[in-house]
Structure 1
């Protein structure tokens, strides 16, 4: 797969995720966050499982040894850890969506873009471009405007949760890119992270929530959309796309979900942004563009100067 094809795959994933913010928001009137998260990831797991089994068997044929395992214990543990991180990011975001608008949730989630190089510095000691720090400052300023921070500098509860989830989304993007590229088994990674997330959410749902057949029936189409499209297709596209592109590039393209979320919120829920929110969105999008495009332009300038 070429880099352009990988970027297009990631853009499709972003479009699906952006529209799913509406589903996540509306479904909370019917079903609990843990139950919704568990059922959507279980459904996503079932969608990708046949493809993952085929990939596993194909990989096994290329190996000389006859062992069932075609990934190392280290990579398997990393895949499971990615599933834990995915659950954490998803459930924090899900609770945040209950207490904020779809538009706010979409744009605030985009803060994981500058979070990716920042986490890369902390975890992998990879020094980011100097423009990253300016982008982070712009992102934070945009956050304060879009979330309606008052003079006490306190974020709204839902906005603060969404902001917290971006740390885990950034970590998820970093690790998915690393593991998918080195194992060349993106579908297996997708299946494992889905089932891990589904199991953890199911345990919490059993303790915290009540799930009945009537609730499942009422929430069926929401679960189907979020499970089949958002999890089974979009998250799998993310893993496949990230096998052929860099984490920072992937984060930039995936951040387009914010635009799709705003469009979906406006068309379906009639949401609108005030002038401060529009300025905040512009600052966040500017930060996203800074992280990737400006360093690329500066490199080209130095090359031809």
Structure 2
């Protein structure tokens, strides 16, 4: 006769803790981007932001560039295109829709990542990961959902919806190549490609060069440094963190954005606080694994 018991285990790695930290930084950039739109067009600002990040990384990583491989160029170009699409479309959409609508629509990348991972990488998420993603997505709806309860798909909202596909593709591509390439070289290449693509997108968008001002330059430099930190960390950490786990961690971005907004004078409603709690629960649940522990078989006593 044998018996088995089930237990839940919680394991958070160093890489995941680092991703949580950079998600805090990531969330804090939202307010800066929102205010920068008063001084610049969306694609010029995105291009300037990633140009600053590229220059910063080039200073630190210049001695490693000689060993660049064809695979690293390919990975950097693909990830850079995804970054340009995600950040560019999201920033463009914020010109015509409210920040709450933008955050709500952008949150759709949370369930998109495991679906794309399943479709292209043949890695179906586990049950606990699906539960965690569901909780995180519901929390995001409560944190950033439109106040009037209505969503009308104008041009800005469609652009934001498309940005979620690019964001999901970025996470998938980083996980696809992270273990095969040098993080420093690929990060620099992807930021350079993202900057160049954003500047080129100014042409079809009809953008002109804005007047240079201190708020614009300081915003671009600050976000450039943050982008460099975020991209290097993502490439490093996702060598061992799965796309599903990374996605749930990144789902905390609007929570940290709300914290920064509160410091700046905004106040979160009760529904948003509940949403933040659900997101935290989603992160924890996604890290739980149901394990079966077999016990030593117990033999029935023998009769004399």
Q: TM-score range by the shorter chain?
A: 0.7 to 0.9
Aligned to 1:77: 74
- Number of aligned positions between the proteins: 281
Which runs of no fewer than 5 residues in structure 2 stay unpaired?
1-11, 296-304
The Cα offsets for residues 149-168 of structure 1, whole Å up to 9 and x where unpaired, read as 76766468766654542322
Q: 1:281 to 1:159 in 2, by over 3 A?
A: farther
Aligned to 2:216: 219
The Cα offsets for residues 194-231 of structure 1, whole Å up to 9 and x where unpaired, read as 1111111111224521114x335441111111112x22
Aligned to 2:173: 175
Q: 1:16 to 1:139 in 2, by over 3 A?
A: closer
Alpha-carbon distance in structure 2 between the residues aligned to 1:248 and 1:186 = 20
Aligned to 1:258: 254
Q: 1:156 to 1:182 in 2, by over 3 A?
A: same
2:233 pairs, out of 227, 232, 237, with 237
Alpha-carbon distance in structure 1 between the residues aligned to 2:121 and 2:278 = 28
The range that moved more, 143-152 or 87-96, is: 143-152
Alpha-carbon distance in structure 2 between the residues aligned to 1:267 and 1:239 = 30
Aligned to 2:268: 273
Alpha-carbon distance in structure 2 between the residues aligned to 1:138 and 1:253 = 12
Q: 1:121 to 1:233 in 2, by over 3 A?
A: same
Aligned to 2:208: 210
1:303 pairs, out of 290, 293, 301, with 293
5 Å matches for 1:145-224?
145=142, 146-148=144-146, 154=152, 161-183=159-181, 185-207=182-204, 208-212=206-210, 214-224=211-221
Which runs of no fewer than 5 residues in structure 1 stay unpaired?
61-69
- Deviation for aligned residue 1:275: 3.6
Bigger strand fraction: 2
The Cα offsets for residues 29-72 of structure 1, whole Å up to 9 and x where unpaired, read as 11110110010111100111133332334xx4xxxxxxxxx423
- Deviation for aligned residue 1:266: 1.3
Aligned to 1:22: 31
Alpha-carbon distance in structure 2 between the residues aligned to 1:71 and 1:117 = 29
Query: TM-score by structure 1 length?
Result: 0.78
Query: TM-score by structure 2 length?
Result: 0.78
Alpha-carbon distance in structure 2 between the residues aligned to 1:47 and 1:23 = 19
Correspondence 1:97 to 2:66: no
Give the CA RMSD over aligned residues: 3.1
Bigger helix fraction: 1
Aligned to 1:65: none
The Cα offsets for residues 230-277 of structure 1, whole Å up to 9 and x where unpaired, read as 222222222222234333333333333222211111112x22333444
Alpha-carbon distance in structure 2 between the residues aligned to 1:56 and 1:23 = 31
Given that 2:107 and 2:251 are in contact with CA atoms closer than 8 Å, whether structure 1 keeps it comes out as yes
Alpha-carbon distance in structure 1 between the residues aligned to 2:192 and 2:27 = 23
Q: Secondary structure at the match of 1:303?
A: strand
Alpha-carbon distance in structure 2 between the residues aligned to 1:45 and 1:262 = 28
- Deviation for aligned residue 1:119: 1.3
Aligned to 2:127: 130
Given that 2:110 and 2:137 are in contact with CA atoms closer than 8 Å, whether structure 1 keeps it comes out as no
